[in-house]
């Protein structure tokens, strides 16, 4: 499965269908999150708790402007509608090794959609 396929599955099946246990299949343990000035590692249980909390609180629905990749990485330019009516947007780079997301680089999210 290509990195783009793995990220699509992550978004569609975990976020949109609520199958949070799929994290154990498509994500590394740990998953490394890279943010400007910070780096964190999340176990499968921590990833599931984080996503479950986001789903319960915000009911996020993702659309993407760009989802492209090569043999190792996928880049996602996304918009996210929340149940509150708020829209977030961002860019993330996913590293996929042996069919699992091992690293995610995040830029600070915007509260405006991509134009």
What pLDDT digit, counting tens, does each position of 39-84 carry? 999 999 999 999 999 999 999 999 999 999 999 999 999 999 999 9
Q: Is residue 17 part of a domain?
A: yes
Query: How many domains, the chain?
Result: 1
Q: Is residue 49 part of a domain?
A: yes
Q: Is residue 96 part of a domain?
A: yes
Q: What is the per-residue pLDDT for 105? A: 99
Range of the domain at 14: 3-106
Closest CA to 106 of 78, 82, 85, 83: 78
Q: Is residue 51 part of a domain?
A: yes
CA distance 103 to 115: 27
Quick one: pLDDT band at residue 110, thresholds 50, 70, 90? very high
Q: Is residue 113 part of a domain?
A: no
Q: Is residue 114 part of a domain?
A: no
pTM score, whole prediction: 0.95
CATH number at residue 79: 3.10.450.50
CA distance 56 to 67: 26
């Amino acid at each position: 499965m290509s990195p783009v396929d793995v990220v699509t599955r992550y978004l569609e099946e975990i976020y949109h269908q609520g199958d949070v246990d799929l994290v154990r299949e498509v994500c590394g343990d740990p998953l490394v999150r890279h943010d400007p000035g910070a780096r964190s590692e999340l176990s499968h249980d921590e990833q599931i708790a984080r996503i479950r909390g986001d789903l319960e609180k915000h009911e996020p629905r993702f659309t993407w402007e760009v989802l492209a990749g090569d043999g190792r990485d996928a880049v996602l330019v996304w918009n996210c509608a929340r149940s509150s009516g708020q829209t977030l947007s961002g860019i993330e780079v996913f590293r996929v090794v042996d069919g699992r997301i091992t690293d995610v680089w995040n830029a600070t999210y915007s509260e405006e959609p991509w134009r």
